[in-house]
Amino acid sequence: MRYILVCVMIFCVSPVWAQDMPVNTNANEPLEITAGKSLEWYRQDKKYVARGDVRARQGVTQITSDLLTADYTEGAKGSTEISLLTAEGNVVISDDENTAHGNKAVYDVPQSYAVLTGGDLKLVSPGQTITATNRMEYWSQKREAVAVGNAKVTRPSDTISADTLKAFFTQDPKTGETKVSRMEAHGNVVIITKEEKLTGDKGIYKAENNMAEIIGHVRIERGPNILEGERAEVNLTTNVSKMFGGATSPTGDSRVRGVFYPGSEDTSKPASEPLPQSPAKGTP
């Protein structure tokens, strides 16, 4: 037998939250929770517990899991204001474009903010999959995601990995499709394309021009050839890479460094486009 609970919620977001967080556009939608086994109501603790093939839906957002606990407060005129959902076991959170997976999720309903933990952490969206080992944070209304711990973005043409990755999504006004518009990578950044491997301390990717900027202890490897510097700009469409100096090494050298091996072709730059000069003074 399937038990169904329908709760209509009125959310009162504090002024501080209203300045920093987006308004939950699902707030005026009813929250429906269905369960395959049972639905328990703990009046004294102000919570509902749903068990077995649980599905919770509000607007375009849906959570499925094996177990779901809904904490609530009693609002004006007897309304039920559910503020927190805790899902456990085979958790999937989805909206109109993105799907997040984990073993456990804590979902702040007013802020449309979820933190997923456990194994098999991933966020699947059109054109890419984001994975992590520690936790995955997802703002459904802000359309932002943070992957922490061995974070990785896998796309058809390249991969981006780092200790922490933050992705910003935007909706295409023409097609209505949601895509990653910007990514920020921090710590042990590695970008692998069909032609190159790039490493550094920090990375910024912009989808509008398919460009990546790598900052701090940058190294580009293409075959046996190596470029080293403080900052690099990489066009992921044309595979043209530009390296810049600026940081002083332990030897006092702040210039760009390139090592090229005989018998190999350095294709990191077209022959007609010379390697940019370091801003440091002195003879190269």
Q: Could you report the per-residue pLDDT of 156-189, keeping only the tens digit for each?
A: 989 999 999 999 988 877 777 778 899 999 999 9
| 231, part of any domain | no
For residue range 34-55, what is the model confidence (pLDDT) as tens digits?
A: 999 999 999 999 999 999 999 9
* Antiparallel, parallel or unpaired: β 47-58 and 38-42: antiparallel
| 279, part of any domain | no
| 158, part of any domain | yes
DSSP tag of 207: T
| 202, part of any domain | no
Q: What is the pLDDT of residue 248?
A: 53
Provide the number of structural domains found in the chain: 1
User: Rounded distance, CA 33 to CA 54, Å?
Assistant: 7
| 261, part of any domain | no
pTM of the predicted structure, to 2 decimals? 0.78
Q: What is the pLDDT of residue 282?
A: 43
C-alpha triplet 139, 145, 146: angle, nearest 5°: 125
193-207 mean pLDDT: 93
Domain interval for residue 16: 3-193
User: Rounded distance, CA 141 to CA 98, Å?
Assistant: 12
Q: What is the largest CA-CA distance in the chain?
A: 81
Q: Domain with 162 in it: what CATH number? A: 2.60.450.10
SS3 state of residue 17: helix
Q: Which of 43-47, 103-107, 256-260 is the least confident region?
A: 256-260
For residue range 88-101, what is the model confidence (pLDDT) as tens digits?
A: 999 999 988 889 99
- Burial (CB count <10 Å: 0-12, 13-18, 19+), residue 127: middle
Q: In 3D, which of 122, 87, 109 has the Cα closest to residue 24?
A: 109
H-type helices in the chain, by residue range? 15-20
Cα-atom radius of gyration of the chain, to the nearest Å? 24
| 260, part of any domain | no
| 152, part of any domain | yes
Higher pLDDT, 186 or 111: 186
Q: What percent of the chain has pLDDT over 70?
A: 80
Q: What is the pLDDT of residue 45?
A: 95
| 208, part of any domain | no
SS3 state of residue 15: helix
